[in-house]
């Protein structure tokens, strides 16, 4: 379905980003990966699906590096047809104790990077009259949790950016939507599980169950594969008139 299309997914060397990259690769898209850590293994996993793959290690907190990454993608594959803004970091603390540098970093990576990548991707999408921008927000783009002020603020703002992008391109073939996952067992969430286990003297499995019980009525983690399938839907002809939605896949979290 996505043969000859190019998808750039930020923060895609593991977790949600890699799950979405694999799903788009399986549909025939060329893939540009981005992220820290091991880049070779995810590239091999994408190649095994028969897709062309490239990697750029842009620091998503730096606009100049984002520009370099977008130029790299264009040079490699022509232009970006599908942009998935997924890069994100987390820090947990009460507002009065929240380190200013952590606030700035979360805003830069979770919010500003989506703006910069979007503004750079839009001209080529508008020129061809086809594009998909998928912002990985969070259920925290719809509801709040204590001690996550920066993350919740940034993800709410990502949902707002999604709506504006969708409206500005509403009469074109360019759509923009947000995915709002609940708990997904990514390295970011595993850190919270580990912290809960240590603080309460629980086993890792018990800590996972308690984390789910607090927020997610289904008592199961959303998977990167499920989120990848939703991204594929947004890119399909069935998603042509889905515009500006914040689609929560959260096991009933926001329904409470």
**Would you please indicate which residues are annotated as catalytic (active-site) residues?**
151
Distance CA 81, CA 124 (A): 8
Query: Quick one: tokens of 81?
Result: 């047809």
- Supply the DSSP symbol for 241: T
Would you tell me how many other CB atoms lie within 10 Å of the CB of residue 121?
Answer: 24
Would you tell me how many other CB atoms lie within 10 Å of the CB of residue 212?
Answer: 20
- Beta bridge partners of residue 30, listed in sequence order: 6
Q: For the chain, what is the radius of gyration of the CA atoms? A: 18
Distance CA 51, CA 178 (A): 25
118 near 42, Cβ under 8 Å?
Answer: no
């Amino acid at each position: 379905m996505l043969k000859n299309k190019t998808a750039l997914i930020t923060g895609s060397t593991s977790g949600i980003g890699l799950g979405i990259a694999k799903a788009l690769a399986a549909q025939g898209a060329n893939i540009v990966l981005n992220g820290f850590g091991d880049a070779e293994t995810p590239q091999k996993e994408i190649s095994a699906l028969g897709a062309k793959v490239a990697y750029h290690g842009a620091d998503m907190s730096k606009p100049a590096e984002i520009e370099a990454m977008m130029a790299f993608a264009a040079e490699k594959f022509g232009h970006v047809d599908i942009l998935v803004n997924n890069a994100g970091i987390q820090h947990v603390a009460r507002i009065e104790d929240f380190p200013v540098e952590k606030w700035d970093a979360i805003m830069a990576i979770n919010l500003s990077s989506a703006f910069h990548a979007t503004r750079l991707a839009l001209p080529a999408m508008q020129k061809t009259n086809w594009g998909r921008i998928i912002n990985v927000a969070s259920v925290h783009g719809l509801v709040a949790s204590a001690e996550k002020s920066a993350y919740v603020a940034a993800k709410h703002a990502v949902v707002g950016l999604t709506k504006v992008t969708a409206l500005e391109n509403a009469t074109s073939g360019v759509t923009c939507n947000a995915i709002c996952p609940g708990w997904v067992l990514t390295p970011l969430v595993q850190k919270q599980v580990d912290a809960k286990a240590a603080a309460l003297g629980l086993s890792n499995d018990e800590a996972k169950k308690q984390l789910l019980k607090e927020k997610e009525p289904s008592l199961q983690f959303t998977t990167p594969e499920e989120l990848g399938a939703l991204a594929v839907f947004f890119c399909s002809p069935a998603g042509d008139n889905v515009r500006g939605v914040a689609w929560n896949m959260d096991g009933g979290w926001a329904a409470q």
